[in-house]
Amino acid sequence: MYISRNNRLVQLPDDAQDALIAAARSSAPVRGLTHGFYKYPARFSPVFARAAIQAFTSPGDLVLDPHVGGGTTLVEALAAGREGMGVDISTLAEFVSTVKCRIYSEAELDRLEWWSDRVANAVDIHRPSIALTDYEELGYYKHLDHPDRWRMRKAIEQSIASAMKLGTPRLVSFGRCVVLRSAQWALDGRSKQATIEDFRRVLTETSKDMLQGARELRAAVKANGRHGVTVLRRSTAGIEHDDDVRGMRAPRLVVTSPPYPGVHVLYHRWQVDGRKETPLPFMIANKLDGSGASYYTMGDRKNPRLDNYFANIKASMSSVAAIANKDTVVVQMIAFSDARKQLPRYLEAMEACGLTEMMLPVLKEEADGRLWRSVPGRRWYSMQRGETPGSQELVLFHRKATVSPSQLQVHRGHPLPTNPAARGQSARA
Ligand SMILES: C[S@@+](CC[C@H](N)C(=O)[O-])C[C@H]1O[C@@H](n2cnc3c(N)ncnc32)[C@H](O)[C@@H]1O
């Protein structure tokens, strides 16, 4: 794979482009490896991350996800024998990504298997639980204080206590992740309360599924070679100055899905009893939250001009450009509450960051030459219209500009069309 410097086309064989497009548009359910450890909101498909890694990198290359969320990119990079780095502002994202990328030894897996056969027995409504009073005082049980909820609270406390008895930090975090996923199933977005019997069953099923995933990841790493994965809990803005990043080689691929402009996604809360928000997932992960929604979504959704959003995305992507080199490909999956207004502004922001858009030649016949996909039935809340039942996502390709953003300003009077179809080129090689 190489990138043509002159015509802004991604140079990939047609069949590789077709595979990438099919993967981006795939609606296959998320499964395999450790992807099922947590349902991270607005996660992208592992099929898409895998296809981007296959198309643009070779074994041993560095893959970066600067808004790593639940770690989909890192799991796929690790399984494919690539080095991975993920960055996220959220401690919950850090927790989930780290547990999903951990390679457990056979002895650890045996110990976790033993635990998974017993964890349901730890839940007994007639026995006392150890209340997590520090978290309770900090408000982490918000909206779970309803009298009907005491059983589920107790069941969660008892299963956390069982996970903590696993002893080592690596095993305890796996156990906590089992509780996190099971409690997400029991509480988040449900119209009907789950019974304690169901919770006990799901604890066992979840831990067995997760063990299977951890074994698959271990086998993939054994087959494809083991490379490191780093998760940084911080903002991507300024990463070029971080001690863990300075001196690091440039990533060969950046694949990411940043927060979407004007689209409200609850990354850091679960919703109970309708739309009441609870920070409980942080308590289960043994992390602290302390920030409002706009911290995680890069903006204030009450501000329709989205100035905060665009300032934040520019800061993040300028730092990505600062650590990229001429061979780095940047692939983003993004959606908009109003694509007509926001897409041009988003592309301008990327240009101002020193990133040049590239097009997939095989898409030259499509409306704007870009890779769109439809997303049926997502729980998104856009500013304009309240709940949007479905939406469109866009995959953008960029590379580091060979001229600086200030030099690009000079060309503004004579903009180059970015769509190869508009330039009437024969895009297939
Ligand atoms: C759409 S999610 C990523 C989902 C991910 N692709 C997956 O498959 O799980 C966007 C993430 O960006 C993170 N984020 C928001 N602002 C950030 C910033 N300034 N730096 C790094 N991450 C940020 C959010 O916390 C959220 O986890």
C-alpha distances (whole Å) from 229 to each of 56, 164, 256, 257, 305 are: 18, 25, 16, 18, 37
* Strand 83-88 with 62-65, pairing: parallel
Cα dihedral: 181, 186, 187, 188 (round 10): 60
Does residue 268 fall inside a structural domain?
A: no
Count of domains forming the chain: 2
CA distance 86 to 105: 23
Residues 115 and 244 in one domain: no
Residue among 68, 256, 308, 333 to mutate when testing ligand 1 (max atoms within 8 A of CB): 68
Residue 151 lies in a domain: yes
42 CA from centroid of ligand 1 (Å): 9
Phi, psi of 140 (to 5 degrees): -75, -5
Let me know whether 407 and 352 are in one domain.
yes
Residue 378 is predicted with a pLDDT of 57
Q: Do 159 and 256 belong together in one domain?
A: no
Separation CA 76–CA 55 (nearest Å): 13
Instruction: Give the distance (Å) from ligand 1 centre to CA of residue 172.
Output: 25
- The reply to whether 294 falls in a domain is no
Q: Which two tokens stand for residue 346?
A: 């988003």
User: Which domain range does residue 173 map to?
Assistant: 106-216
- Return the pLDDT at 7: 52
Question: Among the atoms of ligand 1, which is closest to the Cα of residue 44?
Answer: 8
Q: Please, what are the averages of pLDDT over each run of 10 residues along the chain (429 residues)?
A: 58 95 91 96 95 97 98 98 97 98 98 98 92 85 81 95 97 98 95 94 98 98 96 97 95 97 89 89 92 82 85 97 97 94 96 96 90 74 43 94 62 38 29
Residue with CA closest to ligand 1 atom 2: 69
Question: Two tokens at 290?
Answer: 């302390």
Give the pLDDT of residue 78.
Answer: 98
Asked if the structure places residue 244 within a domain, the reply is: yes
pLDDT in tens, 352-399: 999 999 999 999 888 899 999 988 655 554 444 434 434 899 999 999
User: Cα–Cα distance between 127 and 119 in angstroms, integer?
Assistant: 15
**pTM of the predicted structure, to 2 decimals:** 0.90
* Nearest-10 Cα torsion for 98, 134, 197, 195: -110
Where does a domain end: 156, 189, 216?
216
Task: Give 305's contacts (C-beta < 8 A, 6+ positions apart).
Answer: none
Establish if 296 belongs to a structural domain.
Answer: no
- Are 37 and 210 spatial neighbours (Cβ–Cβ below 8 Å)? yes
Query: Are 172 and 24 members of one domain?
Result: no
| Ligand 1 center to 159 CA (angstroms) | 28
Residue 368's φ and ψ, nearest 5 degrees, are -115, 15
Q: CA gyration radius for the chain?
A: 22
| CATH code (residue 86) | 3.40.50.150
* Domain-embedded: residue 419: no
Other CB atoms within 10 Å distance of the CB of residue 288: 13
Residues with CB under 6 A from ligand 1: 40, 42-44, 66-67, 69-70, 72, 87-90, 93, 235-237, 257-259, 267, 296, 298, 312, 316
Cα distance between residue 417 and residue 410, in whole Å: 15
For residues 353 and 378, membership in a common domain is answered with yes
Q: Is the domain of 205 the same as that of 58?
A: no
Within a domain: residue 287?
no
Asked if residue 242 and residue 97 are part of one domain, the reply reads: yes
Residues 62 and 170 placed together within one structural domain of the fold: no
124 in the same domain as 95? no
In a domain, residue 85? The reply is: yes
Judge if 253 and 359 occupy the same domain: yes
Which pLDDT does position 191 carry in this prediction?
Answer: 86
Distance in Å, CA 316 to ligand 1 centroid: 11
Tell me: do 230 and 360 sit in the same domain: yes
CA–CA separation, 332 vs 337, rounded Å?
17
pLDDT of residue 387: 40
| DSSP character at residue 88 | E
Strand pairing category for 329-335 and 391-400: antiparallel
Out of 155, 189, 216, pick the residue that ends a domain. 216
Q: Are residues 41 and 12 part of one domain?
A: yes
